[in-house]
Structure 1
């Protein structure tokens, strides 16, 4: 697993997620993402962040196998707290965060992207919240920032995905480019922001968060409560076992 952070000479910090094969992050991975964004927020030389990923897709959510191969609820609690920390760090980062999305962006990936300030995607990118298939809830808060309310509910209940090209019409994705041009497209937007007075941009980020009609942190935490209920009822284990192809308690 690797979460790297590189500050370029122009003030653009590039945070990269790389956890083969599908960037389904284990508990520590979510905390590492949060730490990278918190570092960016506290570094006055950082003017803007580009959050990207290596590999087949941007992010496949939490590592379900880690959860199923552990006893008790430690992994579940860790994943919930880790995701909360990572999503919060993106939203509250003192500088704008540009998400450069390639391939699949599902579950926790939508949590990261939904809390970003700008989204650029490759032409093979798609988004979804398949939580209901695994007996969990969450990231509806963030999907609602990408699509209108009725579309969000339809995607949530059906676990369907939506292409990045379709999100352009809603204004939630700035542009869709060929995959080999994704990094350049994200860096171009980042360069426009980095060219501004960072004192003004940091004030603007705080101001925009302050007038946001939804408290994304509390909203997501509310969703997580239902995930705990489903786990205590045994529903989540049953569905995760079927998804992961494991027997309950298998190491």
Structure 2
């Protein structure tokens, strides 16, 4: 697969998607639409069980391309189109049926930070940092993502000041799974990806769907919903194979059925 703003490599059931829009991987409309296509495609590919999302160069993503924003025309439908593409850009990552690991190689700024937060697991380089500078350019957007992951005071202080914080703060708060030296970043992400890819793809996808759907449910209803997922999975060949392998003390061989 060849793209203008990304490279995509697939091996061992793992797809590695690298943002490649130098110099700072800023996001514009065509770049966002291309990522939507990539994730829609990977989400349906049987040979892909996990996706790693990272950035080329020293910056994960500097966020929205302000040069493009200046060209948006009021009254011509430009704002509506831009907003729809931006929403879909984030949703296609968070709603992807395959788990997504953000391997954050450097600063993630504004929409770049939100993109990383849309992944299921975040692993960051020691050189990574995060910032929500929307107010610095006269805008406001993304507070919903901040309040989902941060407490009231931290979310508002971060957003209203536009301060930059080190990736170690994300680890301290339990938002990042790990912070590692830059040269170890992709290796660490692949360790997690391989472990996930070794499980039943049906169980992994059901688990991710469970995480998505139970967010807005009361605990009682959420657990009942999850029980229906378990009942459905118990009838699959993968579940039967996993149980046989457990009893026989061997590695299970999953086929996704």
Q: TM-score, normalised by structure 1?
A: 0.79
Who is 2:155 aligned against? 152
1:13-50 deviations in Å (ceiling 9; x for gaps): 11111101111121110111121111121112211110
| Matches of 1:4 and 1:78, distance apart in 2 | 26
Q: Deviations over 1:190-237 (max 9, x none)?
A: 1110111101000101111011139xxxxxxxxxxxxxxxxxxxxxxx
Q: Indicate how the Cα distance of structure 1 residues 78 and 181 shifts in structure 2: closer, same or farther if over 3 A, else same.
A: farther
Q: From 31, 36, 51, give the equivalent of 1:34.
A: 36
The separation in 1 between residues aligned to 2:72 and 2:213, in whole angstroms, is 39
Q: How many residues align?
A: 213
Which position in structure 2 is the counterpart of 1:102? Answer: 105
Give the conservation status (yes or no) of the 8 Å contact 1:123–1:176: yes
Q: Of residues 82, 86, 98 in structure 1, which corresponds to 2:85?
A: 82
1:128 equivalent in alignment to 2:131: yes
Question: Where does the alignment leave 5 or more consecutive residues of structure 2 unmatched?
Answer: 218-257
The residue matched to 2:203 in structure 1 has which SS? helix
With a CA cutoff of 8 Å and minimum separation of 6, indicate the structure with the bigger relative contact order: 1
Secondary structure, in 3 states, of the residue corresponding to 1:51? strand
Where does structure 1 lack aligned partners over 5 or more consecutive residues? 215-251
Who is 1:219 aligned against?
Answer: none
Q: Which of the residues 199, 202, 220 maps onto 1:199?
A: 202
Distance 1:160 1:79 in 2: 26
Aligned equivalent of 1:111 = 114
Q: Quick one: distance in 2 between partners of 1:143 and 1:42?
A: 30
Q: CA RMSD in A?
A: 1.7
Moved more, 121-130 or 135-144: 135-144
3-state SS of 1:29 partner: helix
> Using the alignment, how far apart are the partners of 1:206 and 1:133 within structure 2?
36
Give the drift of 1:148. Answer: 2.3
**1:91 and 2:94 equivalent?**
yes
Q: Greater Rg, structure 1 or structure 2? A: 2
1:164 paired to 2:172: no
Whether contact under 8 Å (1:147, 1:167) holds in the other structure is: no
Q: Deviations over 1:166-194 (max 9, x none)?
A: 11111110111111111111111111101
Would the aligned equivalents of 2:72 and 2:79 in 1 still touch at CA under 8 Å?
Answer: no
Equivalents in 2 of 1:127, 1:143: separation in Å? Answer: 12
Checking the alignment, whether the CA contact within 8 Å between 1:26 and 1:79 is kept in structure 2 is no
